[in-house]
Amino acid sequence: MEKKHFNYGWMIVLYGALVMSTLHYTCFNSFGLFVVPVTEGLSVSRAAFSMTMTCGSVASLLFAPLTGDLLAYKNVKRCMILGMIVSGLSIFLEGFATAVWQLCVLTVLLQLASNFALALPFSILMLRWFGRRSSFAMSLIFVGISLGGVLFASPLTALIGAAGWRMAYRVIGLVIMCLVAPLGMLVIREHPEGMEDEAEKRGMRAAAGQRPVFDRALYK
């Protein structure tokens, strides 16, 4: 009887859930925790502060198709790590903002960078590692979004109350840059064993100016 081998893709699933519970939560779901302290600290209206998130969301939506094309041509792992580092740096710098327009610029940068670190690149990796079961793997990764609210909402609220919103942004940014991103360098693997040659061929086609074609049959 043939022995079943452990699918390393499950390690990437666990890491994906961690990324969603930290980066996704701090990018999007924790916005409400900062509304009152930031608007009071900068003496701006809540509408002005909310506009920063709106601008970031619109920029992210417009940039999403280009993100997909870049990930198709480039090394997914490299793009993910860079996206996480830029995202963490953007959050860290928000802790030094003195005007709402600075928060707007940093939020746009954050959400553009997060395109390379969240759902889209993980969906590519899950298709490579799980094939037809990739949807199930992605659903487990998305559990991390809800998990982030359960695990981090109370500690983050306490941190804002004790040290202020600026310190909270800096701590979040440092955690993403110094913990989440480096862990990804160790955990993420681009392809299952034996698929590297096909990936190299697609890279050569891309270098020759041909649009890469993803063959789903390779990842059954």
Q: What is the mean pLDDT of residues 181-197?
A: 83
pLDDT of 186 over the 90 cut? yes
Q: What gap in Å lies between CA 61 and CA 44, rounded to an integer? A: 26
CA distances from residue 118 to 45, 83, 177, 217 in whole angstroms, order as listed: 30, 9, 15, 25
DSSP state of 44: -
- More confident: 202 or 128: 128
pTM confidence score: 0.83
- More confident: 90 or 29: 90
Tell me the pLDDT band of 72, cut-offs 50, 70 and 90: confident
* Residue closest to 74 by CA, chosen among 217, 202, 215: 202
- More confident: 145 or 206: 145
Mean pLDDT rounded to a whole number for the chain: 86
Helix, strand, coil tally for the chain in percent (to 5)? 80, 0, 20
Return the structure tokens found at 162.
């004790």
pLDDT at 219: 47
pLDDT of 6 over the 90 cut? no
